[in-house]
Amino acid sequence: MEIEKTVVVPAPASRVWALLLDPQVMGGCVPGMQSIEVISDVEYVAEIKVKVSFVSAKFKLRTTIVEQRAPHYLRTEGTGEDKSVASSLKQTSELFLTEQPDGRTELRILVKVDVLGRLGTFGLSAMKTKADRMWDEFTEKLVARITGAGDAAPGDVKVTVAPPKAPAAIASADAVARGTAVAPARASAPPDAVPLTVPPPATAQTQAAAPSHATSTARDTWWSRWFGRSPQRASTDICIEIQRGDTVVKVLWPVQGASDCSAWLREFLASPP
């Protein structure tokens, strides 16, 4: 079944477009709307109650916006069913917005819908009569919303927003192998979290705690060339080992007296064995 309707509303195309994409507004304008769940910016799940002849149905419709060119064109696709009356439907809707020279907007809608099951057994005439009534009620409430002449959003229509999907905690092995795995966003720390302080490297602590050793290192270089002592060796004394014949002399000299130690060693080496 195909349905084509046109109405001119007293508002620019940009405002009409915004109203058509507002779930709260549509919940108040569409006849029989019970609730709307916003899955994303382009996906909605709605419950709508309709009655054709003597059969009442409550469809759960999933609608997706598949194409849009704001603020002039919108195309949606949707499916729905009511198992209690063994009926289902599939629809495609196109909306065309054309702004008029006087600032008003022509809204044209083209709907293609297939109704299956028990409701589908009704004749085309009964279905189109129902569609005409729903369109007239919809446009009346939409114009009332624009002009402020009436309440187009009754409080019994429940509009909810689905929570966002949590990021995956573990990346797949293939994603890791390809290098395309994306880490989930880091959760923010609670307000009362204790900050973690990382101490500086040990080398920095050593230099800060014993600045005198840095001075002695330069002086130790001369001793190192003679006796093989590593200039990086941390010590508070100068260690000297001298072998003359079978005698080994070991001298420990305070670092603070390095100059005196140097003078003594020169004198000692200059003396005959």
Mean pLDDT, rounded, for 246-253: 74
pLDDT in tens, 65-96: 999 999 999 999 999 999 888 999 999 999 99
Q: Where is average pLDDT lowest: 137-141, 160-164, 175-179?
A: 175-179
How big is the chain by its Cα radius of gyration, in Å? 43
Q: Are the C-beta atoms of residues 136 and 11 closer than 8 Å to each other?
A: no
- Report the distance separating Cα 143 and Cα 141, nearest Å: 5
CA 50 to CA 138: how far, in whole Å? 14
- Do residues 77 and 64 lie in contact, with contact meaning Cβ atoms separated by under 8 Å? yes
Q: What percent of the chain has pLDDT over 90?
A: 43
pLDDT exceeds cutoff 60 at 146: yes
Architecture of domain 2-161: 2-Layer Sandwich (3.30)
Q: Which of 84, 83, 66 is nearest to 75 (CA)?
A: 66
Rounded percentage of the chain residues whose pLDDT exceeds 70? 69
Domain boundaries, the chain: 2-161, 210-270
- Give the residue from 129, 111, 148, 112 showing the smallest Cα distance to 50: 129
CA-based nearest residue to 31, from 49, 45, 44? 49
**Top-confidence residue, 258 or 60:** 60
Question: Which has more pLDDT, 255 or 47?
Answer: 47
Residues 6+ positions from 198 with CB-CB distance below 8 Å: none
Query: Which token pair is 178?
Result: 């390809």
The one-letter code for the residue type at 159 is V
pLDDT number for residue 7: 96
Checking if the pLDDT of 151 tops 90, the result is: no
pLDDT at 205: 41
Max intra-chain CA distance, the chain: 132
Tell which wins on pLDDT, 188 or 139.
139
Cα–Cα distance, 170 to 236 (Å, whole number): 54
Mapped onto helix, strand or coil, the DSSP state of residue 121 is helix
pLDDT tens-digit series, residues 94-126: 999 999 999 999 999 999 999 999 888 887 888
231 close to 221: Cβ distance less than 8 angstroms: yes
In Å, what is the CA distance from 16 to each residue of 41, 44, 67, 122, 237? 17, 19, 17, 34, 89
Query: Residue 12 corresponds to which tokens in the numbers above?
Result: 């620019």
